[in-house]
Structure 1
């Protein structure tokens, strides 16, 4: 009887402790990219963070692109449901201007002090959490000779076989900027007529501007055979496809893409959100994600293996076209309007 009573009391005490722990647990909602990014980021960053911080639960809210993330933040402005968002820097600038974010500085994360200079963006509240660059993708089985130019996508043999994530996705915008430079454009902040004309040449061959679930499996399956995508995802998909998916950097070069991590103003998770941001910017988390998915790190103290760093955007620095994404954010809508009027109709 005494043993039974002791066990019952112990069980009740344990239940009480468990209930109390659950009551004290904080939840942080992180809105970031869906698909492969979600899978790898969860394993490399989210799960280790929760293991080290058992009192904080991370709920990952996946979205396909930054434009939709911004729409969600706007819709929730009066009562935010998200604490942290990972999005493109130009969209982060728009969110900053609309006072949807809280500035990330050394008070929010001590790791901000160790970020590369171009990871700290003067006119945006977020800071860079990954670097990447645009590459040309192709199916090595159906395209035996590696393409060398972005405009190879306009060749007759690729009629109906091109897949490009079009605007408002930043991949479409990036391709406009690359082609504008290649065609003699001198100031993308004033006009991108040359880039729009270049896209107009490719457009008749485009099968889809909205590859689903994303461009990589579409090209691996042979549904399309050539297109554009991000280097980091291309590297992972190339491995997973047994080399069927291939990625090249065309002669016209590429652009550097910056994903920022952002602290949502008045998010429900409060200080727990800042704790996650601090971890995401740490050398430990940066190393883990770079070696998992080949995004270049933004923390200068992250010690990345040579094998991994060789597959990141760092390898292409000499072919990167400089872009002021913050200044570009101000003219993004006019470029989008040109895209609607002069590019999309040519693909119908």
Structure 2
């Protein structure tokens, strides 16, 4: 679930080598895996996380399901390479950017209005060809033993008072999606300047969000940039009294308050009837509750609420207004991060 995004350009020629093949429960699929008896799902979500839900999906849809796992960016690249010869019916992506890349190239089919209408407009593709199924919020995590509070904007982290106190995970997919969002919201020059400021402020790089959270919790750094659910998972595991770190949800539509989504898109020439049943199952209360309970992500379907203790309601958050499909410009973000010496 937490795998970094790959590079679309270099992966095109070798995508097939990067994607392990895993079959879900049986079914009567033929050799091509794309027969009318079943559906093929390319999943950018972690097998350990998603397979139990896909087992339930298979029963709910009443057809065979074959699943091919890999990173979301790598799978999107392979789908672009395969074109109309792909066996895939559905693309289940960890992030909106990979879905946006397929939408931009016309590889996704329109979804019914009834399906799209289950999720607020900001959490689905503007072209009506993909829909979010779970949400995650970018937050600042801070150590109250080190600082009284976190700043109200990620833009403030370049100020001298935060020198040597920041933790971040520059090679992680969620950080790269956040930087892409900042590019869309603030522009190329402002984002490049911010990255240089973070680097010059001696921000400490970590391999992943969990490592950032642990560093903040231990006091190694004072503040970190992560997704919200890492903190809630840690609290669920260790108990609130055993976690020092606190979360700060940023106000005012700050780039650091980005709400990104995992989502699903229907491929052109898919086994449409069965694939649409699968999409509708992923938007069912059972599936939405699964994401909430297992990963502490936000359910996105209107009327389904999270039971995670102390999780702020999604509608109460002040996220920036952004077309999530525009997060597809990952290559430009990676170039910018390399120029800043971060990856």
The alignment's TM-score, normalised by the length of structure 1, stands at 0.68
Judged with a 3 Å threshold, the aligned counterparts in structure 2 of structure 1 residues 124 and 233 are, in CA distance, closer, same or farther, namely farther
- What is the match of residue 256 of structure 1? 259
CA RMSD of superposed structures (Å): 3.9
CA contact (8 A) 1:192 1:335 kept: no
Residue 16 of structure 1 is matched in structure 2 by: none
Report SS of the residue matched to 1:114: coil
Does the CA contact (< 8 Å) of 2:180 and 2:330 recur in 1? no
Q: 1:237 aligns with which of 234, 238, 241?
A: 234
Q: 1:231 to 1:201 in 2, by over 3 A?
A: same
Note closer, same or farther for the CA distance 1:199–1:22 as it changes in structure 2 (3 Å cut). closer
Contact 1:30 1:84 in 2 (8 A): yes
**Contact (CA 8 Å) 1:131, 1:298: kept in 2 or not?**
yes
Structure 2 gaps of 5+ residues are 1-25, 30-36
Relative to structure 2, which stretch is displaced further, 276-285 or 21-30?
Answer: 21-30
Superposed displacement of residue 217, structure 1: 4.0
Q: In the alignment, what sits opposite 2:338?
A: 340
Q: SS where residue 77 of structure 1 aligns?
A: helix
Give the 3-state SS of the residue equivalent to 2:299 in structure 1: coil
- 1:119 deviates by 3.7
1:322 alignment counterpart: 321
Give the match for residue 198 of structure 2. Answer: 202
Deviation at 1:147?
A: 3.0
Q: How big is the shift at 1:280?
A: 0.4
1:274 is matched with which residue? 276
Report the counterpart of residue 298 of structure 2 in structure 1. 296
Residues 137-174 of structure 1 deviation map (CA, whole Å, 9 limit, x = unaligned): 35x5985755335344776886496232358x353352
Asked if 1 retains the 8 angstrom alpha-carbon contact of 2:180 and 2:333, the reply is: no
Structure 1 residue aligned with 2:104, among 87, 90, 97?
Answer: 97
Asked if structure 2 preserves the Cα contact closer than 8 Å seen for 1:153 and 1:162, the reply is no
Instruction: Report the secondary structure of 1:165's partner residue.
Output: coil
1:58/1:245 Cα in 2 relative to 1: closer, same or farther (>3 Å)? farther
Three-state SS of the structure 2 residue aligned to 1:131 is strand
- Distance in 2, Cα, partners of 1:320 & 1:90: 17
Kindly tell me: are residues 142 and 124 of structure 1, through their superposed partners in 2, closer, same or farther at Cα, counting changes over 3 Å? Answer: farther
Cα separation, 1, equivalents of 2:157 and 2:79:
38
Q: Distance in 2 between matches of 1:70 and 1:312?
A: 32
- Give the drift of 1:314: 1.0
**2:214 is aligned with 1:220:** yes
Aligned pair 1:73/2:79, yes or no?
yes
CA contact (8 A) 1:56 1:272 kept: no
C-alpha distance in structure 1 between counterparts of 2:247 and 2:48, whole Å: 21
1:26 deviates by 3.2
- Contact 1:132–1:313 under 8 Å retained in 2: no
Which residue of the partner structure matches residue 31 of structure 1? 43
Where in structure 1 are there 5+ consecutive unaligned residues?
1-20, 181-186
Equivalent residue number for residue 19 of structure 2: none
| Offset from partner CA, 1:86-105 (integer Å, 9 cap, x none) | 33334322211223222222
1:174·1:255 contact (CA, 8 Å) conserved in 2? Answer: yes
TM-score (normalised: structure 2) = 0.69
| 2:160 is equivalent to residue 164 of structure 1 | no
How many aligned residue pairs are there? 298
Aligned counterparts of 1:116 and 1:266: Cα–Cα separation in 2: 27
Deviation at 1:277, TM superposition (A): 1.2
Measure the CA separation in 2 of the matches of 1:104 and 1:161: 42
Alpha carbons of structure 1 residues 237 and 80: separation in structure 2 relative to 1, 3 Å: farther
In 1, the alpha carbon distance for the partners of 2:190 and 2:110 equals: 36
Deviation at 1:135, TM superposition (A): 0.9
The answer to whether the 8 Å contact 2:180/2:327 transfers is no
Partner of 1:84: 90
What is residue 7 of structure 1 aligned with on the other side?
none
